[in-house]
Amino acid sequence: MQDVGQSKGDGVLSEIELVQLISCELHVGVSKAIQQFGSKSSPKFANPVDWLSTWQAKVNLKVTVDDKSSFAPGVTYTEPMKNAISHYNVTYGQNFSISAGLQASSQATHTETVGYTVPFSSFTDATLPRNDDCQNQIENKVVLSDLKIDDFILAKAQMAAQADVVAYRPGSPFSVFNDQLTFIVTYSGNITPVWKLMRVTASSNSPLYYATRTRTHDLTITLGAPADPEAVAVHNAELIGQAVASALRNR
């Protein structure tokens, strides 16, 4: 089944742009964090976050596409009958009618998972978007909104830059940061034609044909040092939890 208002190619394009948006917001977040809380920033931050440039992000994107369609024609036959007259000479119109209907529906669910790693050492200032606005780099601005990944990184970098937040350790005072996001995009459409003849009316109280496509995006991002076992463990645990939550949601 094709997307309602969106072709199969457009669906692939939106996934490409989504990955681009994720990478862009990671880049902007890391750059802003080092600029604001690094060693060259205000000296009020006791623990500069320059180590962030040596970290990486493990990204897991799960896209679930749920297609539903229904077909529900209905026909009503009406046979006029002779008017009836009451004892008070009131005329009542009479007719005989019978209705018939058919309902058919289908549903298909398709799930895709993409996992990749983004090393922060690959980021350069030359590739930053103008005004740090990642939305300008994509076309589906209505479908793909701001994911706030850069805000998440900034908040965690500010926390790490503070003195006495946690016990001191070389480099980062934290070993892992994790962010989860779920957003849903829905397309739908329906057709309800009506034919009204002398004795037959072909219509339906509900749409004759209805179709909907729901795209559920489950995004998990784990920030940590390369090959850090704790970061790997947290990322894997979140993926297991995400799978359980998705199974419960679809019950």
Question: Is residue 87 a contact partner of residue 75, using CB atoms and an 8 Å limit?
Answer: no
CB count in 10 Å sphere of residue 123: 18
Supply the DSSP symbol for 105: E
Look at 190 and 43; give whichever has higher pLDDT. 190
- Strands of the 200-202 sheet, one edge to the other: 91-101, 74-85, 200-202, 195-196
CB count in 10 Å sphere of residue 29: 25
**Strands 74-85 vs 91-101: parallel, antiparallel or unpaired:** antiparallel
Q: What's the whole-number mean pLDDT along residues 159-172? A: 72
Share of the chain above pLDDT 90, in %: 20
Return the pLDDT at 151.
Answer: 92
Return the pLDDT at 187.
Answer: 86
Q: What are phi and psi of 97, to 5 degrees?
A: -135, 150
Return the pLDDT at 39.
Answer: 81
Decide if pLDDT at 244 tops 80: no
**Alpha carbons 1 and 66: distance in angstroms, whole number:** 11
Q: Confidence band (pLDDT; 50, 70, 90) for 8?
A: very low
State the chain's mean pLDDT as an integer.
81
Q: Confidence band (pLDDT; 50, 70, 90) for 251?
A: low
Return the pLDDT at 185.
Answer: 82
Dump pLDDT digits (tens) for 54-95. Answer: 999 999 998 889 999 998 888 888 888 888 888 778 888 888
Q: Give CB contacts under 8 A, 24+ apart, made by 235-244.
A: 235/58, 235/60, 235/178, 238/178, 238/180, 239/60, 242/60, 242/62, 242/180, 242/218
Look at 9 and 229; give whichever has higher pLDDT. 229
Return the pLDDT at 186.
Answer: 87
pTM: 0.74
**Alpha carbons 72 and 191: distance in angstroms, whole number:** 10
Look at 245 and 231; give whichever has higher pLDDT. 231
Question: What is the DSSP annotation of 149-177?
Answer: HHHHHHHHHHHHHSTTSS---SS-S-SEE
Q: Confidence band (pLDDT; 50, 70, 90) for 15?
A: confident
Residue 107's identity, in one-letter code, is Q
Supply the DSSP symbol for 122: G
